[in-house]
Amino acid sequence: MIALREVTKRFGSTVALAGVSLEAPPGATHVLLGSSGSGKSTVLRLILGLATADSGSVTVDGVPVDASSRDRLVARMGYVVQDGGLYPHLTARDNVALAADAPGWPRARVDARVAELAGMAGLDGATLGRYPRELSGGQRQRVGLMRALLLDPPILLLDEPLGALDPIVRAELQDQLGQLFAALAKTVVLVTHDIREAARLGHTITLMTGGRVVQHGTFADLVERPATPFVRQFLTAQTLDAPAAPAR
Amino acid sequence: MRRLAVLAALVSALLPATSLVTARAVVAAPDGVIRVGSKSFTESYLLAEMVAQVVEQVGEARAERRVGLGGTGLTQRALESGAIDVYPEYTGTITRVILKEPALRTEEEIRARLEPRRLTMSASLGFANTYALAVREEEAQRLGLRTIGDLGRHPDLTAAFTSGFIEREDGWPGLRARYGIGLARVEVMEHALAYRAVASGQVDVMDVFSTDGQLERLRLRLLEDERHFFPDYAAVLLARREMTVRYPRTWARLREVLEGRLDAARMARLNAMADLDGRPVAEVAATFLAGREPEPGGGGRGRALLAEIAGLTRDHLLLVLVSVGAAVLLGIPMGVMAARYRRAGQLELSVIAMLQTVPALALLMFMIPLFGIGKGPALVALSLYALLPVARNTYAGLIAIDPTLLEIAWVLRLGRARRLLRVELPLAAIAIMAGVKTAVVTTVGTATLAAFIGGGGYGTLIVRGLALDDTVTILAGAAPAALMALAFHALFELLDRVVIPRGLRSGG
């Protein structure tokens, strides 16, 4: 269980989070939905310990994320960013294997695990031997996901993981991610601005704007019982943009 | 002096280790070696070469030539520190510059004053090389110039003086006061260049030494010093007493062969042979010592020069590789520190940048009181000079890394060292290599200045060529330096392929 209680966070004079509370239950996928500047990425950074809350608390399984605990806690998290966040000087395989550097896994164990994940992600050996810039956007994203999953962490945090992809690849990967999350039964927190992604992947959704939580619930809750006019506005604006949107 | 002290403190703070390495250069010559020094003008080269050849003939000790040092301050410190044992000097310089007692007259008085400094000097070699002012013969006739005082009637004339002459009290300032004369314009110029400028009519007056070989050939007239302003500059050998005691036969032989044997005309002829006929210094010195006039022509010069260039190439490579190597070993960690602790880093980079603003030649000179002369101090100065591009580019490369990639390194729980080696340095490799490349190519050029403090390398030929006014010799030093810079550039293009990770290279 990941929980935020009344968290505020400022960057200089900019308020990123103004009293945010939310919960991501274990074994389920929780989506943080909002446009850019809504504060949703800051939530992820607070959970990872990359940033510290000004007030309020951030806890992972009841342990507050702070300077003394964050190193231990981050060991239980996998992190995926837009476009994969791959190191350009390492091959796809070495990017993935880098995650085993800290625990010092023996070579054979790393190789076996990489092979297992490659099968799951649908990447062959030749692709894994390439450098990031020689890969397609979708391949880079799969490699980033493999790296996050290498140590099989119970928590998976994804920040706009499909943001850099074209719509067709994006839709395809959304389906695969959904299946994957279901199969792995991990606690997933996924940040996106894409309403369809939220609908497809999120067991629960938190809609944010201007550093505040607007509504928390299932996708059906948001559609059928919008808490404010903004919720309806947000859903409509996006679904109008997307011709194939199912909510239309 | 204060600036020097600050720099000294800075350098010793930066490079505690190098002082251990180079301290050796300052201690006295090892057994069986007499280190012969000279300043960087023809006559000094010739006299030093004569000394070296006599040393070798006597056989009591081996002669090591440390010639072409850039001025009295340098030769004096080199002599007192034991970096050289003997070099040709002039009594006027000894009394004024070294002892700072211009009233001293006789050789006995001077020798007595040298005693507490553990130095001694020979008797006069037979000629005086005094300062003098020279003008073109036809201009002298046209304007009726016979004495220095005559210049007072032509305040519109221009002059090219060496920097020493302009600054020294026994040079232009004193001369102007004594005669009450002024000139329209005074430029600072190297001797060799000034000769060209005067000969071609670009300037009218220059300071010369009365035994310069060019005087006769370029048809220049010496203006008479009717008020006896210029002091007597009798040529002598200035030596460490320790050397004369240790190698008595050598010292006795030097005095026997050289004292009183050279008159001004003879010296001027020898200078002209080296300066104007382009004969190798060693050959001119040998003909004098053999007591014969040199034969005309000068075959084999090209071959001798080629052999010398080969030796100097090794020298120069050593200077460049060692100093850039040190700059890399020091500069990359400094760049890393600067990127890690930004504020302290700015200070650190400013200090290195400040070092870079010290002219290279001045930086080399500053090394003398700390490390003596020769390769050691040259290497320290060149390393300091190469430090900036390496440290600066390392810093720039590191701070340009996408912060997301660093955060991921943290999430992957890579330790500091692993993060540096696996992520940061490889990502900064392109910038770092560019810095190293800059350092190497510029050091190839800067290293030519090492010759001024006896550091060897291609600069040896450039310094000598300048002194002898010999374009071929200058080019023999400058052209290989340019080629070496090009070669390093090409080499580094290849090295990029090894050092820069394939995923970062363009096109591959």
Residues in B closer than 8 angstroms to A50, CB to CB, are 407, 410-411
Which amino acid is residue B19, in one-letter code?
S
Q: Distance between terminal CA atoms of chain B?
A: 54
B402, B407, B411: best mutation site toward chain A, by most A Cβ within 10 Å? B411
Single pTM value for the model: 0.69
Mean pLDDT across the stretch B351-378? 80
DSSP code for B128: B
Kindly tell me if the per-residue pLDDT of A215 is higher than 90.
yes
CB B36 within 8 Å of CB B68: no
Kindly tell me if the per-residue pLDDT of B138 is higher than 50.
yes
List, in order, residues 6 or more apart from B150 with CB less than 8 Å away. B143, B144, B223
Subunit contact A74:B422, Cβ cutoff 8 A: no
Q: Average pLDDT, whole number, for chain A?
A: 89
Subunit contact A131:B503, Cβ cutoff 8 A: yes
pLDDT of residue B2: 41
Q: Which of A71, A85, A131 sits opposite B404 (nearest CB)?
A: A85
Res. B68 pLDDT band, cuts 50 70 90 = confident
Tell me, yes or no, if A104 comes closer than 8 A to chain B by beta carbon: no
Shortest CA gap A227–chain B (Å): 35
Q: Let me know if B508 is exposed, middle or buried by CB neighbors in 10 A (0-12, 13-18, 19+).
A: exposed
Shortest CA gap A35–chain B (Å): 20
Q: Which of A89, A131, A147 sits opposite B426 (nearest CB)?
A: A89
Kindly tell me if the per-residue pLDDT of B6 is higher than 50.
no
CA distance A219 to A199: 6
Q: Which pair of tokens denotes residue B188?
A: 């600072």
Q: pLDDT tens digits, residue range B273-312?
A: 887 777 888 989 998 888 866 554 444 566 667 878 888 8
Q: Distance between terminal CA atoms of chain A?
A: 34
Q: pLDDT tens digits, residue range B93-102?
A: 899 888 988 8
- Count, residues in chain B: 508
Tell me, yes or no, if B499 comes closer than 8 A to chain A by beta carbon: no
The structural domains of chain B, ordered by start, are 31-127+233-298 (3.40.190.10), 131-222 (3.40.190.120), 303-504 (1.10.3720.10)
CA distance B169 to A116: 87
- Count, residues in chain A: 248
Q: Let me know if B19 is exposed, middle or buried by CB neighbors in 10 A (0-12, 13-18, 19+).
A: middle
Q: Which of A48, A87, A88 sits opposite B411 (nearest CB)?
A: A48
Rg of chain A over all Cα atoms, to the nearest angstrom: 18
Shortest CA gap A125–chain B (Å): 17
Question: Between A162 and B15, whose confidence is greater?
Answer: A162
CA distance B24 to A70: 54
CB B152 within 8 Å of CB B175: no
Helix axes B459-468, B42-58, angle to 10 degrees: 120
Shortest CA gap A136–chain B (Å): 14
Mean pLDDT across the stretch A120-140? 92
Query: Residue B360 half-sphere exposure, CB side, CA atoms within 13 Å?
Result: 18
Tell me, yes or no, if B414 comes closer than 8 A to chain A by beta carbon: yes
